[in-house]
Structure formats: structure tokens, C-alpha cells
Amino acid sequence: MADGLKFGFLLVVLIGFTIRSTEGLGYHWQWYRIPRYLFSVSEGQVFVGPLLQGLAVTFQVAAASLVLAPVLGLIAALMRLSGSLVARGVARIYIELIRNTPLLVQLFFIYFVLSPILEISAFASAVLALSLFEGAYASEVFRAGIQSIHRNQWEAAFSLGLGTWRTYRLVILPQAIRHMLPPLTSQAISLVKDSALVSTIAIYDLSMQAQAIISETYLVFEIWFTVAIVYLVITVSLSVTVARMEKKLRYYA
């Protein structure tokens, strides 16, 4: 509750500072024009506006990436921890290459270079780029979580006749998830925010729709404030949901 009050106070201060600054520039706020870009009501029917249409696309890109990124991250982590020199080398190259180049460059490379070769859509290119990028960071989270489990757990599992993969699935990963959940949540939030970059390859997500509206109406501050609030609601909701999951995990531990 205290953190929420602090955040609310900071938000009010920032909004007040922005309003005062724009008044000095002679900017006239027109918040009354914003609702029509979210939704409209006509003859008893509700019609979705361009911002919510863009938000739906953002959700689709983020949801697909949130499924694929942990899979890639877990595979890369297991390869890093395997006894195969080749597997460790491939995983290390992938992680270092992705983590040391900008996401925007990766997005352009996949869309403009690989997309025509593989014949994949802009949507698939965006999902692949985001998944590879976030998967590289998630792999280090998985690796650290797995290594945090005491060696005795491995020995106990092997003594019961479990193989490596069954030990991972039944013993190691269920225990490691409690350690991995907070940093994985941070990566998920980063993925949602990074998804705004897909507008650069002509995907009409929330950011792209905002740019289109601004070019027509010049409601620069109002639109971007609205977009920021939408992203804030999404990320805060995700954080609260995962915090509750953590409490349940600790309760059943």
C-alpha cells in the first residue's frame, strides 16, 4: 500500500509538471477527444477504436512471444549445462550474439533479410525477434535457477533410478521455479514493453496506431500519455498476478 501511494504521488507530480510545462508552450489539452480513439457507442453498439485495435495486436505479439521465449530460454540453458561441448558452444554463441546486439537491429535483420528467404509474415518476424531476444536473457535466469538447487537433489533422484530428463522435469525444475519466477516476471514485463518496437516493421500495434492518430490530429501529449497508461496498467497487472503466484508457491512449499 505504501509503495502504491508513493507511485501515485510521483505520477501526480509528473503529470502536474508536464501540464505546467506545456502551458508555457501554449499547448491546449484536448482530453475530451481521446475516448473516441478507444471506443465509441452508436445505436446501442460499442465499437472498438484504433487504440484498442492496436492493443489487441500488441497482446497477440506479446502472448505468442511469452510462450516461445521461455521455451528457447530453457533449451539454451539446458544446452549450457549439458556435457556436450558443441551444445555449450552453440548456446553460448546464441546468448552472446543476442545479448550484445540491439533488439531493433535484430528485428530489422529478421524482417528484411530472413523473412523473404523463409517466407514468413511481419507478425511471425516480430514474434521470432522478440522470442530470440528475451529467450537469451531468460536462459541465464533458468541456468541460475537450476544451479541454485543443491547437488543432493540430483544424487537422490539418480539413486531412485531417474534419468537426467526426468530429474529435470520432476525434481529440479519444480523447485527452481520459485527462484526463477521474480526475474522471469521482469523479463515478461520487458517483453511487453519491447513489443512496441514491432511498429517499425509496419505492424499496427498500439504504438503504430498512436503514431497514425498523432499524424492526423496532432494530439501528441494526450495520445502518448494514454499509450503510457495502457502499458502501465498491463505491466502492473502482470506484476500483481505473479506476486500472488509467488505467495501461493511459498504457501505450498
The answer to which of 99-103, 208-212, 227-231 has the lowest mean pLDDT is 227-231
Q: How confident is the model at residue 235 (pLDDT cuts 50, 70, 90)?
A: confident
Closest CA to 196 of 64, 62, 71: 62
Model pLDDT, residue 1: 44
Number of C-beta neighbours around residue 112 at 10 A? 11
Instruction: Write out pLDDT tens, residues 14-40.
Output: 777 777 776 666 677 888 899 999 988
Tell how many helices (H) and how many strands (E) occur in the chain: 12, 2
Model pLDDT, residue 76: 95
Q: Distance between CA 174 and CA 179 in Å, rounded?
A: 10
| CA torsion through residues 160, 163, 168, 170, sign | negative
Write down all domains in the chain, each with its CATH number in brackets.
50-252 (1.10.3720.10)
Model pLDDT, residue 52: 93
Q: How confident is the model at residue 157 (pLDDT cuts 50, 70, 90)?
A: confident
CB burial of 225-250 (b: ≥16 within 10 Å; e: otherwise) equals bbbeebbeebbeebeeebeeeeeeee
